[in-house]
Amino acid sequence: MDNRYYIFILSDSLGETASHVARAAMNQFLNKDYVVKKYNYVRDADAVEEIVIEASKHKSMVLFTTVMEDLTNTIVTMCATHNVICHDILSPVLGQFSSFFGDTPVRKPGTMYKLDDDYFERVAAIEFAVKYDDGKDLRGLKYADIVLLGISRTSKTPLSMYLSHKNVKVANVPLVPEIQVAKEIFQVPKNKLIGLTNSPEKLNEIRIERLRALGLSSDVEYANFDRILHELDYAEKVYKQLGCPVINVANKAIEETASIILEITGLNIKLK
């Protein structure tokens, strides 16, 4: 006999709201054995009936977030008919907001996840940051809004990903003393180039932690203090040759550094 509890989650959209609420509640009952069954984009009575009948075969509760009033009434009616416990998560909140605003909700599914131009630009920027991370393909530099340069552990990738979520296309290229600076970097307009640096002490600390996380000995050249000083000196010479601005990321949060980058490049004006 199946003694597990079943949580059926229904939504006329993605169902993320109901899922989060359900998880938050279920986490308060650690000793219960339950199964979660999630149904997205449920928008007709036939689909509701099929799900409710399935729920009636188990010890079930139906949680739902539906903005279409007819569909909400259908779920409540069918659950009552089949003796299944149900809970409408969204309607009570909509009712409160309706009273508060003195207005009626639009009752349109999926408005939280509207796919507008801004959304697609952000997705494109994120894909760009992944594709042109760590100097993977230098052909992308000419298409970037910003090109970040720096030796290892100067926050190139975290900054690229953070800025990509602001719809900025960022490529980043590592600087290594033993590898000649690629000609493509010299073709990037100076107003798009940003050099990143860090304090030798901070780099030494970060690199040692990185090696430990990988299960490697910290007694290697990568974390050697003299090696770090050599790399920093090399990067400084490259930045002077390129004539690009330099930001020291030591003791700066990613958000702070990103803000400085946007200010220097003038992209903060564009984003506003």
* Residue list, annotated binding site: 150-157
Residue with tokens 């640096």: 197
Question: Which of 92, 70, 75 lies closest to 39, judged by CA?
Answer: 75
Q: What angle do helix axes 156-164 and 117-131 make, rounded to 10 degrees?
A: 160
Contact 109, 16 (CB under 8 A): no
Contact 11, 66 (CB under 8 A): yes
C-alpha 110/C-alpha 35 separation (Å) is 26
State the Cα angle at 215 between 210 and 248, rounded to 5°. 5
Instruction: Tell me how crowded residue 155 is: count the other CB atoms within 10 A of its CB.
Output: 22
Question: Residue positions in the annotated binding site for ADP?
Answer: 150-157
Is the four-CA dihedral 90, 95, 99, 103 of positive or negative sign?
Answer: positive
- Helix, strand, coil percentages in the chain from 3-state DSSP, rounded to 5: 50, 15, 30
